[in-house]
Amino acid sequence: MVWISYALTLLLSYTYRNTLHLFRSAHIVDEIRRMSTVLTNKTAIITGGSRGIGLAIAKKLAAAGVNVVVAAKTTEPHPKLPGTIYEAAEEIKAMGGNALALVLDLRDEAMIEKVAMDTVAQFGGIDILVNNASAIYLAGIEHTPSKRYDLMHQINVRGTFLMSQACIPFLKKSSHPHILNLSPPLDMNPAWFENFTAYTMSKFGMSMVAMGLAAEMKPYGIAANALWPRTTIATAAVQNLLGGDALIRQSRWPAIVADAAAIILSRNPKETTGQFFIDEDVLRESGITDFTGYAVDPTTDLAPDLFITL
């Protein structure tokens, strides 16, 4: 009860940098209390959990009492990208959470299997897998080097496939098994293929893995879903690759994706599977109607994310 009370306090005053987002309605308080009760003492692996959306999800789950495994490749400081797996784990521990940093290169099948086994050795099982790690390169077919094509498909599709495969035996033993892929709804609109076909193929591939998992794992009560943001999110990828400071100002903080992920992952896995969720829609369904606190700059019009039409 002490841990649940602590988690409830954190979740009710979740701060992302200088943005404070308080959920005040009785309905939301009930939702957060339920979330903490359901998720306490569960164990989650978050790929790409050292920064951005992955780190935000890791912190959110840790605040709800989840044992969090930060699985990513960054072990040394990067000149353009914030955070290492060790720094992320220490941040989570500093806020009172339980975290384990594990090195993971999703191109290495042996490393994937080791992360799963080390997680079980440390925490006794696996309840949640968040396939967040992704590579991005936005260029048309004519200008996409094979090296970039291979990297996106090795990490986004193959990595998600093999990471899920490695966790399934342990998820089958869980009382609350969830797989959540950070990937978009499937939409064959040519606009989403023009100018970045390789990236679209890789992200839709992640969504197809979620679809396949939902069908295959239904007899075992393992949920498999996908989650995607309605707007661009203030991450290093947006800053460095998509639109710099201007697009950052039109974005929301990763907290909105983390909040939506926590809600999905706290739901009954037998009743919530095979769905493509949009972060804002998940929060609206939970009674949240004011999204101002999630905006980097509330005075600026929001920019839709890729694969989204506002």
Smallest Cα–Cα separation from 169: which of 236, 108, 113, 91? 113
User: What burial class does residue 287 get, using C-beta atoms within 10 Å of its C-beta: 0-12 exposed, 13-18 middle, 19+ buried?
Assistant: middle
Query: Which one is catalytic: 14, 16, 199, 294?
Result: 199
Closest by CA to 98, choosing from 53, 73, 123, 62, is: 62
Nearest to 68 by CA among 48, 89, 50, 86: 89
Q: Is the C-alpha dihedral spanning 22, 26, 28, 33 positive or negative?
A: positive
Q: Is 199 a catalytic residue?
A: yes
Count of H helices and E strands in the chain?
A: 12, 9
Q: For the chain, what is the radius of gyration of the CA atoms?
A: 18
Sequence-separated (6 or more) residues with CB below 8 Å from residue 18: none
Contact of 88 with 70, CB cutoff 8 Å? yes
* Residue numbers annotated as active site: 199
